[in-house]
Structure 1
Amino acid sequence: MKKTISMMIAATAFSVSTGIASVESVDPFYRVDRFADLEVLRYKVPGFEKLTLQQKKLLYYLSQAAIEGRDIIYDQNCKWNLAIRRTLEAVYTQYKGDRSSDDFEALETYLKQVWFANGIHHHYSTDKFVPGFGQEFFEKAVKSVDTRYLPLQKGETVNQLLANISPVIFDPAIDAKRVNQAEGEDLVLTSAGNYYDGVTQAEAEAFYNKMKNPDDLRPVSYGLNSRLVKRNGKIEERVYKVGGLYSKALEKIVYWLEKAASVAENAQQKAVIEKLISYNKTGNLKEFDEYAILWVNDLDSDIDFVNGFTETYGDPLGMKASWEALVNFKNKEASERTHIISANAQWFEDNSPVDNCFKKEKVKGVSAKVITAAILGGDTYPSTAIGINLPNSNWIRHEHGSKSVTIENITEAYDKAAQGNGFAEEFVWSDKERELMEKYGFQADNLHTDLHECLGHASGKLLPGTDSDALKAHSSTLEEARADLFALYYMADPKIVELKLLPNAEAYKSEYYKYMMNGLMTQLTRIEPGKNIEEAHMRNRQLIARYVFEKGQKDNVVEMKKKDGKTFVVINDYAKMRSLLGELLAEIQRIKSTGDYEAGRDLVETYGVKVDPELHKEVLSRYEKLNIAPYKGFVNPVYTAVTDKKGDITDVTISYDESYIDQMLRYSKDYSNLPTYNY
């Protein structure tokens, strides 16, 4: 699972920067493009040049496999995405009219948004984008393009293409939400994600409930790698595999994985890659579990990767996985702190404030490291998580452990890009809090990620007979809250200073303040006026912050105070705040361990969903004046294989020069592996 956007590498997707103003000038290396509410950054890959030739080859082959699945995530996000993206790209590259007109510039912005979100819905809010250009302009522009550049299927006319995609782009009522989480609605029918076709929520839940055996102690992840469709009254799964759904893309992925296997660092890593290849060919979920077990036990390899159908945030029912990829290598120096955490995992589990019956008697296989991201793909590109803990299967985590990573070159890029932006001066209560955050913010934030991924997701256990899907649509929110609470609770423990993970007993307050400020106020910059919170990580953060605020009112633990007509968060009692965090952690662990859906739903709906409209209006107004993009993502570096006359690779070079537009157009040209419509 990811912090904050969850992975078989997160998910989670929020900037870790403190936003502290700095006298340092922002390094222009990191900034690439800015449009709408988005900013595209660049990340460095320190240490790449020190890799051996074999490691560089492995990284190169895995990076190719990571990009080859790009079309899959577009199609998963909405069945019209590939047709719309390819049509927009044809207009953008071939249009001969006035390219300086307001309509064309708005089309360029819209296309950049589609690239960023892997489709027509915002990557975070999942609301459909509103085009700034008119339908008449769009259709005339499409008709002006030579038809050989348009994504026309056999026998399809331009008018038929437009009849398919124009209503989707311009009618706000059609496919309005990629992932709908609104209580009381049919979440399948009202979500535009392409994981179900022709089935209702009740039919989907009944289909998978019928498959489950309550006595099976090692269940597969039902529905993880398939689309559920209803044809002629019959419901069936269409499995993602070579020879099945998404075959053309998976064939290319397998091709590069086979090359990667030939240069694996060791036998264990080779076995991991070969099992993933086999799983891609069969689509058998038992093989996926076998792959996950091999992967979590591969602790000796420096190069590591995720490639496949992993996280379930895109499915409103939390069962079906989006395709994602990440290639990385170990940051050995920075990994020392995660090794310390892993070595003390049993102590943290034993001293957790949850009921003893929900604790693991013996924590197994908790491994953690700090990594350097080398390539991002699928659902981790352009927007990516800053930390990952996988696999997600509860029984595999219990019996074999989990692998946790913090992606430090990504957190560094976020931090560098945020220097001097004025955020802290606008939203932080006083110099005392600003000084804490400036002094300890980056260190405390990385530690929070380490604890969240390494221990939070790996902690606790389900009671025998508890269905891992029992919390349904609220599962992701509650799981991320559980991991965040575990991390926050322990950051203030003296054990952290004893282990030299933080320098003193004051440092944790930086993270406590930032978390409360974000959960109660500043994350609202990502919500449109009049709307409530739907994204799982945002619900998680508000749930925790609002719970602490409301439960602590009697003792004035946290206040919302006014100064110069502006609202600020003030923490009056950090110790009592920690006690409230422990109380909530104990309850959410109970909910997860027992599968108490009603209690979980009540927590989420009571604290995590509703937005105060007046506070929201104020926050948006203050934030707008700072001219900061609330969402950030990345372009990838470009890896080039250098070959000799025989075609053998003699080196792999890295460059950072490619622009956002050039990278997206190159990917669409070189890695478009799927047909426009994937039925």
Structure 2
Amino acid sequence: MRNIMLSLMTAMAVTACTGQKAEKAEATQDNFNYVVDQFADLQILRYQVPGFESLSLKQKQLLYHLSEAAQMGRDILFDQNCRYNLPVRRALETVYTGYKGDRTDPQFVALETYLKRVWFANGIHHHYAEDKFVPGFTPEFFRTCVSQVESSALPLREGQTVEQFVAEISPVIFDPAVMAKRTVQSGDVDLIRASANNYYGEGVTQEEVEDFYARMKAGKDTISPISYGLNSRLVKENGKLVEKVWKVGGLYSPAIEKIVSELQKAVAFAENDAQKSIIGKLIEYYQTGDLKTFDVYSILWVEDTASDVDFVNGFIETYGDPLGMKASWESTVNFINKEATKRTKVISDNAQWFEDHSPVDKRFKKEKVKGVSAKVITVSMLGGDCYPATPIGINLPNADWIRRDHGSKSVTIENITEAYDKASQGNGFNEEFVWSDKEREGLKKYGFITDNLHTDLHECLGHGSGKLLPDTDPDALKAYSSTLEEARADLFGLYYLGDTKLVELGLVPDAEAYKAEYYKYIMNGLMTQLVRIEQGKNVEEAHMRNRQLIAKWVYEKGKADNVIELKRRDGKTYVVVGDYAKLRELFGTLLAEVQRIKSEGDFAAGKKLVEEYAVKVDPALHAEVLERYAKLNLAPYKGFVNPVMKEVKNDKGEVMDIVLDYTEGYADQMLRYSKEYSFLPSYNE
């Protein structure tokens, strides 16, 4: 499970618009330029990798090869998100690099912006809102551009003419009714057929998918079940449903072979035998596609708490599948921040206390918390579904039985949260949306501390807490599972942020600190995250739904006691928290209910909770928030460019050092990645 970008930093941690592009801006340790580019609703930042220079050469080489593996699967994610993403991206890149006309022409500028959005979202649908982008250039302009470039550079099917290609691809780009939404997760529709993602073949229905996996699970191990369907596309061949597994020799093999090659190189630089075994087992999983091997790998990975260098690489998170089964490809590469990890060690060392004192029913608590480890990390490379938009925290493995029997590993990515914090200073957001100086001063004093601590609690304890009842299907909550799981983890963190135990443990400076995160969370869930949604749209993304669910539920349940109020002043709406102690009690009550829903697999109750509180938006409040936010000239979404890792070799070709270059621009990086890390055909059918 991941804590997605800005889910805890919130819309408050957005960067002031410079009004200038910074594609080639210099970035040094002493005077680091965080802002790289801004367009549409997006801003691109850099992150620093402090401590990299102090690592041993062996550790740097390990990071280098793991980082190469983190880029090799880039095309996989594009194809998973929609089967037309690769041909669209490649056609646009060909036009962008080969265009001979006026590059200041508004039509071309609009095409450039569209391409940058496709790069950012790993496809033609918004990375958060899920809706298809509306191009600002015309079909006629696109047709003219495509006709003027070399046909050999275009992603044509065998025997296809340029005219036929344009006819096939134009509705995908320009017709709002074609592949309108990447992932549909609620509503009285067939969720599979309504979604444009590529986890299921054409003509496959939701009922067929659910029946297929129900039959596959029947009579199988329910104590330690594999993650059915995690690494495959389900398609129809000759009228029969068949899984096309993502592995060497299977679907996506050309990219997976490259990933495996870099992992094999990384083995030589492993820090210890345990790490060698972990990388070796991941290689075996990629070679076989065997989900039992993936479970063995996951257990080895979660039990390795000694290595300083760590990574995630594979088909991991299931947010993009309407049924929450099939996983997108992602990767992060990192090393431990030992000083900051002292904070998370205190949390993990006290995991049993937190579990025992949770407000949930005793039936749903773990009698013995096993293997909870947590650390603060410095990320050195992002890839796949963690790039350019990245999580700020991760808790894995996702399999409930592995968490139960072997524990979980949690990380907070502090160099990413620090980049958000540094880039957001002085942007005017707090002055516009925060009720009074009292709240602003609390946010300034405690905000960064409590943001990171909430992430720690969310990842380390929240996702790892509780248990399913013995006969509960891990997939029982279906399309609502991701939203409810993120709500469960957020609520766990929120509840304990206000506990005096945190003061006792030295995790917060005093008993007032938690109020900063409470205020910010409620303001974000009720109001300010709406800046990320187009007017008239519902909330779609799981993390955003989670936050609105929590905020709206506690607002409604606390109305009688004025726990939270929406007050008007000078024609503007503000959040005012009247009783922080009662707000904490409400967080605990909702946590108990969400845990019950998960533990019992109560689909009806989970659906009711999500549909009632998490989806619909107050149109008047939404319009107001959008208008106020627009005046600040900010971008509601953030993403990152990676540093460039370079090998420094002597005359004999021996690697003497690995260095980081922070100067690469956004378009430069994306075009380089498309040149150096594209291994899949345009159509993977």
**Cα distance in 2, alignment partners of residues 422 and 353 from structure 1:** 38
- Rate the CA distance shift 1:80–1:19 in 2: closer, same or farther, 3 A: closer
Of the three residues 147, 157, 163, the one matched with 1:159 is 163
Shift of 1:14: 5.9
- Rate the CA distance shift 1:315–1:524 in 2: closer, same or farther, 3 A: same
Question: Is the Cα–Cα contact under 8 Å of residues 324 and 479 in structure 2 kept in the other structure?
Answer: yes
Question: Is the Cα–Cα contact under 8 Å of residues 15 and 634 in structure 2 kept in the other structure?
Answer: no
C-alpha distance after superposition, 1:584-641 (max 9, x if no partner) = 0000000000000001111111111110000001000000001110000000000011
Question: Is the Cα–Cα contact under 8 Å of residues 65 and 265 in structure 2 kept in the other structure?
Answer: yes
Other-structure match for 1:189: 193
**Cα distance in 2, alignment partners of residues 213 and 447 from structure 1:** 41
Other-structure match for 2:96: 92
**Cα distance in 2, alignment partners of residues 15 and 632 from structure 1:** 11
- Rate the CA distance shift 1:583–1:409 in 2: closer, same or farther, 3 A: same
After TM superposition, list the pairs within 5 Å mapping 1:356-395 onto structure 2: 356-395=362-401
**Cα distance in 2, alignment partners of residues 292 and 162 from structure 1:** 44
After TM superposition, list the pairs within 5 Å mapping 1:433-582 onto structure 2: 433-582=439-588
Of the three residues 221, 246, 257, the one matched with 2:227 is 221
**Cα distance in 1, alignment partners of residues 94 and 167 from structure 2:** 17
Of the three residues 288, 291, 294, the one matched with 2:297 is 291
Of the three residues 336, 352, 357, the one matched with 2:342 is 336
**1:101 partner amino acid:** D
Shift of 1:16: 4.9
**Cα distance in 1, alignment partners of residues 208 and 12 from structure 2:** 45
Shift of 1:414: 0.6
**Cα distance in 1, alignment partners of residues 540 and 236 from structure 2:** 28
**2:137 partner amino acid:** F
Question: Is the Cα–Cα contact under 8 Å of residues 110 and 131 in structure 1 kept in the other structure?
Answer: yes
Other-structure match for 2:650: 644
C-alpha distance after superposition, 1:320-357 (max 9, x if no partner) = 00000000000000000000000000000000000001
Other-structure match for 1:596: 602
Other-structure match for 1:110: 114
**Cα distance in 2, alignment partners of residues 569 and 503 from structure 1:** 25
- Rate the CA distance shift 1:327–1:557 in 2: closer, same or farther, 3 A: same
Question: Is the Cα–Cα contact under 8 Å of residues 87 and 683 in structure 2 kept in the other structure?
Answer: yes
Shift of 1:672: 0.5
**Deviation above 4 Å: which 4+ runs of structure 1?**
16-22
Shift of 1:21: 10
Shift of 1:157: 1.5
Question: Is the Cα–Cα contact under 8 Å of residues 15 and 420 in structure 2 kept in the other structure?
Answer: no
Q: Does 1:178 align with 2:182?
A: yes
Shift of 1:19: 4.3
TM-score (norm 2): 0.96
**Cα distance in 2, alignment partners of residues 16 and 370 from structure 1:** 20
Helix, strand or coil at the partner of 2:674? helix
Other-structure match for 1:2: 2
Of the three residues 201, 204, 210, the one matched with 1:205 is 210
Question: Is the Cα–Cα contact under 8 Å of residues 18 and 441 in structure 1 kept in the other structure?
Answer: no
Helix, strand or coil at the partner of 1:242? coil
Task: Give percent identity, aligned residues only.
Answer: 68
- Rate the CA distance shift 1:511–1:14 in 2: closer, same or farther, 3 A: closer
**2:3 partner amino acid:** K
Shift of 1:649: 1.5
Question: Is the Cα–Cα contact under 8 Å of residues 552 and 558 in structure 1 kept in the other structure?
Answer: yes
C-alpha distance after superposition, 1:547-576 (max 9, x if no partner) = 100000111111000011100000000000
**Cα distance in 2, alignment partners of residues 266 and 621 from structure 1:** 55
Helix, strand or coil at the partner of 2:465? coil
**1:43 partner amino acid:** Y
**Cα distance in 2, alignment partners of residues 51 and 326 from structure 1:** 18
**2:465 partner amino acid:** S
Helix, strand or coil at the partner of 1:151? coil
Shift of 1:213: 3.6
C-alpha distance after superposition, 1:373-410 (max 9, x if no partner) = 10000000000000000000000000000000000000
Length, aligned pairs only: 670
Helix, strand or coil at the partner of 1:29? coil
- Rate the CA distance shift 1:662–1:21 in 2: closer, same or farther, 3 A: closer
Of the three residues 111, 132, 135, the one matched with 2:139 is 135
**Cα distance in 2, alignment partners of residues 499 and 349 from structure 1:** 16
- Rate the CA distance shift 1:494–1:21 in 2: closer, same or farther, 3 A: farther
Helix, strand or coil at the partner of 1:606? helix
Of the three residues 624, 635, 639, the one matched with 1:629 is 635
TM-score (norm 1): 0.97
Other-structure match for 1:101: 105
Question: Is the Cα–Cα contact under 8 Å of residues 364 and 398 in structure 1 kept in the other structure?
Answer: yes
**Cα distance in 2, alignment partners of residues 31 and 233 from structure 1:** 52
Q: Does 1:427 align with 2:427?
A: no
- Rate the CA distance shift 1:504–1:371 in 2: closer, same or farther, 3 A: same
- Rate the CA distance shift 1:253–1:20 in 2: closer, same or farther, 3 A: closer
Other-structure match for 2:123: 119
**Cα distance in 2, alignment partners of residues 153 and 653 from structure 1:** 41
**Cα distance in 2, alignment partners of residues 520 and 268 from structure 1:** 46
**Cα distance in 2, alignment partners of residues 36 and 676 from structure 1:** 27
Question: Is the Cα–Cα contact under 8 Å of residues 19 and 424 in structure 1 kept in the other structure?
Answer: no
C-alpha distance after superposition, 1:30-82 (max 9, x if no partner) = 00000000000000000000000000000000000000100000000000000
Shift of 1:183: 1.4
**Cα distance in 1, alignment partners of residues 264 and 15 from structure 2:** 48
Shift of 1:20: 9.7
Question: Is the Cα–Cα contact under 8 Å of residues 20 and 434 in structure 1 kept in the other structure?
Answer: no
**1:309 partner amino acid:** F
- Specify every segment of 5 or more residues in structure 2 that has no aligned partner in the other structure, as ranges: 17-26
Question: Is the Cα–Cα contact under 8 Å of residues 63 and 333 in structure 2 kept in the other structure?
Answer: yes
Shift of 1:422: 0.4
Other-structure match for 1:244: 250
- Rate the CA distance shift 1:166–1:13 in 2: closer, same or farther, 3 A: farther
Question: Is the Cα–Cα contact under 8 Å of residues 427 and 568 in structure 1 kept in the other structure?
Answer: yes
**1:3 partner amino acid:** N
Helix, strand or coil at the partner of 2:226? coil
Other-structure match for 1:9: none
Question: Is the Cα–Cα contact under 8 Å of residues 456 and 484 in structure 1 kept in the other structure?
Answer: yes
After TM superposition, list the pairs within 5 Å mapping 1:407-422 onto structure 2: 407-422=413-428
- Specify every segment of 5 or more residues in structure 1 that has no aligned partner in the other structure, as ranges: 6-11
**Cα distance in 1, alignment partners of residues 252 and 532 from structure 2:** 33
Question: Is the Cα–Cα contact under 8 Å of residues 559 and 570 in structure 1 kept in the other structure?
Answer: yes
C-alpha distance after superposition, 1:67-115 (max 9, x if no partner) = 0100000000000000000000000000112221110010000000000
Helix, strand or coil at the partner of 1:339? helix
Shift of 1:126: 0.8
Of the three residues 28, 45, 49, the one matched with 1:45 is 49
**Cα distance in 2, alignment partners of residues 560 and 437 from structure 1:** 19
**1:471 partner amino acid:** L
Helix, strand or coil at the partner of 2:412? strand
Shift of 1:13: 5.6
**Cα distance in 1, alignment partners of residues 397 and 165 from structure 2:** 41
**Cα distance in 2, alignment partners of residues 530 and 637 from structure 1:** 38
Other-structure match for 1:353: 359
**2:676 partner amino acid:** D
**Cα distance in 1, alignment partners of residues 354 and 334 from structure 2:** 28
**Cα distance in 2, alignment partners of residues 424 and 495 from structure 1:** 29
C-alpha distance after superposition, 1:410-436 (max 9, x if no partner) = 000111111111000000000000000
**2:287 partner amino acid:** K
The CA RMSD measured in Å over matched residues stands at: 1.3
**Cα distance in 2, alignment partners of residues 134 and 165 from structure 1:** 13
